Structure 1
Amino acid sequence: MATPLSASTVLAALKAEGVRVVEVGNWRTHNRNSRGAWGPLNGSIVHHTVTKGTTSTVFLCRDGYDDLPGPLCHGMIAKDGVVHMVGWGRANHAGGGDPKVLEQVIAESYGTRPTPPTKGNANGVDGNARFYGWECENLGDGKDPWPKAQYDAIVRVQAALCRAHGWSAKSVIGHLEWSSDKIDPRGFSMADLRADVAERLAHPASWSPGSSSTTPSKQEEDPMAGITKKDIFDAVWKTDAIGAPSDAVDFKTNPNWQPQSILKDVQARIRRMDKTLAAQSAAITALAGQVGKGTDTGAVVAAVEAAIERAVIDVNINTKEA
């Protein structure tokens, strides 16, 4: 259990963790403290908003609606990773939840996830007094993507709170792990999120994956890692009905072949086609002008073939010079 961080302290903690923050209006004093206690705090809950559009979502989280006044969380984490602070103090975000889950979070005693909740908003214990709350912009349909910047911000926000309070990642839960009648957040695993928070907590607050000699997390992996030049060669030239460039006919016997050879060959092909088309067009235009003037058809055909041959030779010369 812990005393809630002050607005200034949490703001400093978030920024130290590398979170981009926008302060919305009077967020430092905007709360529901007149309706009940806020604290001692035992953890942080992650939600999804079931909305689309950052601006409208920020206003909803700040002001709430007729049946549920705002603030509906402490910060709204947008798709671009920016965290909009909308309130500080008691907020209408957690509602009722399972007391057994609360015990496990306080003791940080569960395995990969808390015991599935059997109590919900109507018959559970007050979670608004016990948890920080973070709404994340997402439709919650299991299809709306979670951009890398947004997911990274979620991890950083939770790590900042855990670091400030001396908690482990097990103090971070999803709304669906707190209340039996909730499904959020949907689209990623809370067990995976906690693993990523734990990874951050093993480093200084300023740490970013890939910024040191440490191994990048799965969020930072290079999608081209492990792909060789031969993989590219086989994928392009052996699966498509395209002849290989002259300098890459046999990959095994030509160690100088490079992936950029593909682009050079395509460029040469396009140049040849452009030149050929131009030559044909010029020849056809000339032919059209001679119709009815007694022109020898054989001579016209020979002229067209000669023009095309000159164009191809010109392209080959230019390509070699390039």
Structure 2
Amino acid sequence: MAVPLSAAAVLAALRAEGVRVVEVGNWRTHNRNSKGPWGPVNGSIVHHTVSSGTAATVRIVRDGYASLPGPLCHGMIAKDGRVHMVGWGRTNHAGGGDPAVLAQVTAESYGTRPTPPTKGNANGVDGNARFYGWECENLGDGKDPWPAAQYDAIVRVQAALCRAHGWSARSVIGHLEWSSDKVDPRGFSMAQLRADVAERLAHPASWNPSSNTPNPTTPSTEDPVAGMTKRDIFDAVWKTDAIGGPADAADHSTNPTWQAQSILKDMQARIRSMDKRMAAQTAAITTLAGQLGSGADTATIVAAVETAIERAVIDVNINTREG
């Protein structure tokens, strides 16, 4: 048993192990601590997401669902090997599991695998309080491949936690080894994963098993959108909470999150409003121009038009004061 690492400590441990980390929003304080305890921690659980597309998967594990609020893990390990940190503290990832498995993991007393669990989410003990959780981007159908970069990152993440806590690889289990009603991760053996974690732990954190493998701690020069679908790119650009917006309270009251998606909707609404005013002003000018034939003074018409234009400019400046 151990006190959970702080957000700063886990970042340091991951980076020392050569993990490429992506910090997502307010992950350091995004948690479910109000719903129950987190800690002492006894180990780490590996999951698969049953999803595809990195951007969409990050959004799912960070925000969750109506019936299962996020975060759904601490970090999401993507196909390209990057680890997206989405929460820190209690997260909705493990659910209920077998107390016998918890005892074996705590004591690190089993052989190649814990005894098969006989309890699950509905009748097991609380795993969200006792385990770190790592979702891995994969369809979970046994056919979706596990790229070398992703598998290597899974090994490095688990080794980083074990090294930080002084655990052996037996503190790492799959969700299917914790709960009788789970099958993840599917597509690789947890016994083999633990063997690979143990191999890393036998070397310094900076160890790279192949001299042909570039050290992930060095700056990456790869194409950041390589392998991304059009939907991934759209989500990454327009569905983010990292874009700033108006700072005044009035605008935040109608657009509190100020996401890029809502900025576009707001701009579109303002353009439509301007179109309506311009149409009204055009009609007014046409009417005034028609009055020339009935003796209206040209100077009066010009003054009316200038007043209308000035009013429109003032309205536009007020409605777009934040640029």
SS in 1 for 2:164: helix
How many residues are aligned here?
A: 212
Structure 2: where are the runs of 5+ without partners?
Answer: 213-323
> 2:27 aligns to what SS in structure 1?
coil
Rounded Cα–Cα distance in structure 2 between residues aligned with 1:121 and 1:182: 9
Cross-structure match for 2:22: 22
Q: Give the letter for the 1:107 counterpart.
A: A
Deviation at 1:190, TM superposition (A): 0.1
Cα shift at 1:211? 3.6
Q: Distance in 2 between matches of 1:80 and 1:211?
A: 19
* Higher RCO structure, 1 or 2 (CA under 8 Å, sep 6+): 2
Q: CA deviation at 1:113?
A: 0.1
Q: Hey, what's the Cα distance between the residues in 2 that align with 1:119 and 1:53?
A: 32
Matched residues in 2 for 1:184 and 1:67: separation? 20
> What is the match of residue 54 of structure 1?
54
TM-score, normalization by structure 2: 0.65
- How far, CA to CA, are the matches of 1:20 and 1:4 in structure 2? 21
Specify the SS of the correspondent of 2:18. coil
Q: CA deviation at 1:184?
A: 0.1
- Which position in structure 1 is the counterpart of 2:123? 123
CA positional deviation for 1:110: 0.2
| Superposed CA offset, 1:283-321 (max 9, x none) | xxxxxxxxxxxxxxxxxxxxxxxxxxxxxxxxxxxxxxx
Partner of 2:45: 45
Residue 109 of structure 2 aligns with which residue? 109
- Distance (whole Å) between structure 2 residues aligned to residue 99 and residue 5 of structure 1: 23
TM-score, normalised via structure 1 length:
0.65
Q: Distance in 1 between matches of 2:208 and 2:73?
A: 26
Q: What corresponds to 1:97 in structure 2? A: 97
Cα distance in 2 for residues equivalent to 1:188 and 1:22: 25
- What's the CA shift for 1:104? 0.1
How far is 1:180 from its partner?
Answer: 0.0
- Name the CA distance, whole Å, in 2 between partners of 1:62 and 1:105: 27
Measure how far apart 1:41 and its partner are.
0.2
CA distance in 2, matches of 1:196, 1:20: 19
The 5-angstrom pairing of residues 239-254 of structure 1 reads: none
Greater Rg, structure 1 or structure 2?
1
Deviations 1:74-112 (A, max 9, x none): 000000000000000000000000000000000000000
Q: Could you tell me which amino acid in structure 2 is paired with residue 102 of structure 1?
A: L
1:187 is aligned to 2:187: yes
Q: Does 1:167 align with 2:167?
A: yes
Counterparts of 1:161 and 1:111 in 2: how far apart (Å)? Answer: 20
Task: Kindly indicate whether residue 53 of structure 2 is the aligned counterpart of residue 65 of structure 1.
Answer: no
Specify the code of the residue in structure 2 equivalent to 1:48: H
Moved beyond 4 Å, runs of 4+: none
**Residue number in structure 2 paired with 1:74:** 74
Cα deviation 1:255-298 (Å, max 9, x = unaligned): xxxxxxxxxxxxxxxxxxxxxxxxxxxxxxxxxxxxxxxxxxxx
Task: Spell out, residue by residue over 1:39-78, the C-alpha distance to the aligned partner (whole angstroms, 9 max, x if none).
Answer: 0000000000000100000000000000000000000000
Q: Distance in 2 between matches of 1:95 and 1:200?
A: 29
1:177 aligned residue: 177
Corresponding residue for 1:196? Answer: 196
RMSD: 0.8
Identity of aligned residues (%): 87
Distance 2:188 2:138 in 1: 11
Matched letter for residue 10 of structure 1:
V
What's the offset of the Cα at 1:137? 0.1
The separation in 2 between residues aligned to 1:177 and 1:65, in whole angstroms, is: 24
Q: 1:185 Cα shift? A: 0.1
SS in 2 for 1:115: coil
Deviations 1:1-24 (A, max 9, x none): 000000000000000000000000
Unaligned runs of 5+ in 1: 213-322
SS at match of 2:76: strand
Q: Distance in 2 between matches of 1:52 and 1:30?
A: 23
Structure 2 residue matching 1:65: 3-state secondary structure = coil
Q: Deviations over 1:111-155 (max 9, x none)?
A: 000000000000000000000000000000000000000000000
Residue 147 of structure 1 corresponds to: 147
For residue 210 of structure 1, report the CA deviation from its aligned partner. Answer: 2.2
- Separation in 2 of the partners of 1:139 and 1:57? 11
Q: How many Å separate the matches in 2 of 1:169 and 1:98?
A: 19
SS in structure 2 at match of 1:83: strand
Q: Secondary structure at the match of 1:151?
A: helix
Q: 2-side partners of 1:191 and 1:100: how far apart?
A: 18
